[in-house]
């Protein structure tokens, strides 16, 4: 038996000196974060910057691809013109480019068959490369129920590439006429009639206007 002094044993006094637990033995919940941590915000900003940089690079690469296509058209035409003359060179290139247009036009055919020119216009605008940054497409004129729609483009990386390469305004206009065969093929493939009201490469113009008309069924 431990000796008691003043009413408390030595064992009692030792127990009193032990630290007491003020809370039950369970884990406290982690504090709720009211604001993003600094590193989270930095990481998020870095991700946004990376996305913007990737988008900018993608657009630059797409523009470069169109510029490359423009120069290939020009060089092929130059060689064909030397061998066959301007008339035959133009006809051959237009036929080849038109064929590719026919294939592209299949995506528009369901809307064209339904007489839905509004949908054709939407597809034309939303399907433009680089979210429209290169050709800057839009709908120039359309009334619901009309059999005609006018589409617009105010940018053209092909025209820009030809002029930058030193081709004359006259030669650039001719190359533009050849390249436009893809548009004629596209809307022929869709079952629509196309008429160019204006082209950017034409003297005094800065806009391409494409008038599309439903065909009688």
Q: Under the phi-then-psi rule, with left for phi > 0, alpha for psi from -120 to 50, and beta for the rest, what region is 4?
A: beta
Between residues 38 and 105, the one the model is more confident about: 105
CB 149 within 8 A of CB 190: no
Whether 41 has a pLDDT exceeding 70, the answer reads no
By residue count, the chain amounts to 217
CB 211 within 8 A of CB 197: yes
Q: How much is the average pLDDT of 55-75?
A: 92
Whether 79 has a pLDDT exceeding 60, the answer reads yes
The burial of 49, by beta-carbon neighbours within 10 Å (0-12 exposed, 13-18 middle, 19 or more buried), is given as exposed
- HSE-CB of 107 using CA atoms within 13 angstroms: 12
Look-up of token digits 């990376």:
50
pLDDT in the model for residue 2? 46
Second-level CATH architecture of 52-214: 2-Layer Sandwich (3.30)
Closest CA to 182 of 60, 68, 115, 93: 93
| Paired strand residues for 137 | 153
Residues of the chain with pLDDT > 90: what percent?
67
Report strand pairing: 148-153 vs 208-214. antiparallel
3-class DSSP assignment, residue 87 = helix
Q: How much is the average pLDDT of 47-71?
A: 85
pLDDT in the model for residue 40? 65
Whether 35 has a pLDDT exceeding 80, the answer reads no
Domain ranges (residues) in the chain: 52-214
CB 128 within 8 A of CB 135: yes
3-state secondary structure 118-180: HHHHHHHHHCCHHHHCCCCEEEEEECCCCCEEEEEECCCHHHHHHHHCCCCHHHHHHHHHHHC
This prediction's pTM:
0.74
* Mean pLDDT estimate for the chain: 86
Q: How much is the average pLDDT of 149-162?
A: 96
Range from 3-12, 89-98, 131-140 carrying the lowest mean pLDDT? 3-12
Range from 4-18, 49-63, 140-154 carrying the lowest mean pLDDT? 4-18
Residue 176 phi/psi, 5° resolution? -65, -40
pLDDT in the model for residue 23? 47
- Indicate the Cα dihedral angle 61, 64, 66, 70, nearest 10°: -170
Look-up of token digits 């006094």:
13
Look-up of token digits 């009639």:
193
Which pLDDT band holds residue 58 (cuts at 50, 70, 90)? confident
pLDDT in tens, 105-134: 999 999 999 999 999 999 999 999 999 999
Q: How much is the average pLDDT of 165-192?
A: 97
């Amino acid at each position: 038996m431990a000796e008691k002094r003043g009413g408390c044993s030595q064992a009692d006094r030792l127990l009193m000196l032990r630290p007491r637990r003020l809370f039950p033995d369970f884990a406290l919940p982690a504090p709720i974060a009211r604001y993003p941590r600094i590193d989270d915000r930095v990481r998020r900003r870095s991700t946004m910057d990376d996305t913007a940089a990737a988008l900018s690079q993608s657009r630059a690469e797409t523009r470069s691809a169109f510029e490359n296509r423009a120069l290939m058209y020009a060089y092929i035409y130059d060689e064909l013109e030397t061998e066959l003359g301007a008339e035959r060179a133009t006809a051959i290139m237009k036929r080849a480019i038109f064929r590719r247009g026919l294939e592209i036009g299949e995506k528009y055919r369901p809307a064209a068959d339904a007489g839905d020119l509004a949908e054709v216009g939407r597809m034309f605008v939303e399907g433009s490369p680089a979210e429209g940054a290169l050709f800057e497409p839009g709908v120039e004129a359309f009334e619901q129920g009309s059999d005609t729609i006018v589409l617009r483009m105010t940018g053209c990386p092909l025209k820009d590439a030809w002029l930058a390469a030193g081709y004359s305004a006259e030669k650039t206009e001719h190359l533009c006429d050849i390249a436009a065969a893809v548009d004629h093929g596209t809307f022929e493939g869709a079952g629509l009639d196309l008429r160019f009201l204006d082209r950017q490469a034409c003297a005094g113009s800065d806009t391409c206007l494409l008038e599309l008309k439903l065909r009688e069924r």
